Structure 1
Amino acid sequence: MSTQIETKLAPNATVAPQRSVKAAKSVKSSKVSYLIFFSSWFLLIATGVLGTMIYTEHLRTQLSTQLAAQTEQQLQAMQEQYQQQLEQLKTSVTADLSNLHTKVDSFNELLAFTKDSANSKTDNSNQLYTQLAEVKKKLDELKQNLDVLK
């Protein structure tokens, strides 16, 4: 009987170490599986974050380019409008200046005529000189305004 027990124990003794090796392998295998699983999830999350950052930078660059182009168009339109207004103002001042110049010339002619025809009793020439002085002042003011515009 003692030999049978030994033979029965011997196979059981060899089975127990195999189970512990299998258990150790399965524990090691499950650790590797978890490591791979968590590594792949981390890789997916990191890739998503990186992709989001790259896409956000792309959108920001695209938006800033569009805003720069829109701002440039608005500035160009404002500059054209300003140039048109400046040209209108120049033509208006030039027309006013020419009208004033013709008035001054006609006043000079009238003054010369009244001076020639005036006698010592009338004082009309002083009124004309006063009006002429006022017209010359306005003419000088308009010239200054035109110089400022240029």
Structure 2
Amino acid sequence: MSKTTRATLALQQAGVSFTVHSYDYDPNAERIGLQAAEALSADPSSVLKTLMVLVDNKPACVILPSDQEVNLKKLASALGGKAAQMMKPADAERMTGYHVGGISPFGQKKRVATVLEQSAFEHRQVFINGGQRGLQVKLDPRAAAEVLGAKVAGVV
């Protein structure tokens, strides 16, 4: 497995300090983020999942703890919209250039509005997908928010 992806390159170019962690990805896991947390021996609230959504039919990205579910009404409100829905997996792959299970908010093909769940800041460092299945980057959530230009809000 290559540890260099568009996500890790984007972080390097932005001068962000991070470490790369690989694990055995289980494509049959019921909840991919929780499987990653278990494989990394990490607190599930510190392993963040990246979801692609549509807010008022515009693409957006939300990053939240793997043990939480996004509240679509709160998400829409955080981005000044009326309604939000999950993006279809094929559309998410096309838009980001990543495969489902390996979607990173970093280095996506097209930059979209991004929301980072505020509870991520309860951790000094968090894991976020590194751009391929079985690859996570560990970094300060403040650095992640800054490099992504993410809005920080409560969306769970």
Task: Give the shorter-chain TM-score range.
Answer: under 0.3
Which is helix-richer, 1 or 2? Answer: 1
Larger-Rg structure: 1
More relative contact order, 1 or 2 (CA 8 Å, 6+ apart): 2
Task: Select the structure that is richer in strand.
Answer: 2
TM-score using structure 1 length: 0.16
